[in-house]
Amino acid sequence: EPEVTQTPSHQVTQMGQEVILRCVPISNHLYFYWYRQILGQKVEFLVSFYNNEISEKSEIFDDQFSVERPDGSNFTLKIRSTKLEDSAMYFCASKPKYPGRSTDTQYFGPGTRLTVL
Amino acid sequence: GENVEQHPSTLSVQEGDSAVIKCTYSDSASNYFPWYKQELGKRPQLIIDIRSNVGEKKDQRIAVTLNKTAKHFSLHITETQPEDSAVYFCAASRGSSYKLIFGSGTRLLVRP
């Protein structure tokens, strides 16, 4: 069964550095999402992406964040200047779109644990 | 604003007993309600979902009920097993391309 994949599994960076988190959604999916989960807390929405543009973003997703789909398979989240409070698990998710049939199920990747020192 | 409240935060049951987790949502436009199971250090895995045109859905030992009037939905696990031990998250969405709003999670422990 196809799965969403993410790399790296763990990223350690210094405060102020840029990081890029990478995701490969399931191949026939058209909706893409980033969520984050601070240790011990709930999963929080960051951004959704469809048709090569952001469709919705949360208050967390400020100017330090950006997303990109550089080719037909990858979906990336960039944090330009990391802060200590950006330390979290970042999950990518994707959702299919079938002609004439709606589906709402989002499939999550394994996550990237970002540690900002 | 959009919010999902989830109770209890922790739940400990004896193997074979039932477990019930409850969620309340605030956005009346929500029409899709999934439940995810997350084991330690792993991705959230969808275990069951329900849409607003259905009041109840069952899949083997797992069932979900929805009360749209009260904006409540619940997860019921019967005949619990130790492997059911995990954190369970409810979520709500307006469907289509919309985001998932997650509850705060319930840590379920099934004692052998």
pLDDT at B95 over 80: no
pLDDT at A100 over 60: no
Find the mean pLDDT for residues A93-114: 82
DSSP string, B50-85: EETT-SEEEETTEEEEEETTTTEEEEEE-S--GGG-
Contacts of B44 in chain A (CB under 8 A): 43, 91, 108
Model pLDDT for residues A8-43, shown as the tens digit of each residue:
999 999 999 999 999 999 988 889 999 999 988 889
Contacts of A106 in chain B (CB under 8 A): 34, 46, 100
- B20 confidence band (pLDDT: 50, 70, 90): very high
Q: Which conformational region is residue B105 in: left (phi greater than 0), alpha (psi within -120 to 50 degrees), or beta?
A: left
The least confident of A102-116, B13-27, B53-67 is A102-116
Contact A102 B51 (CB under 8 A): no
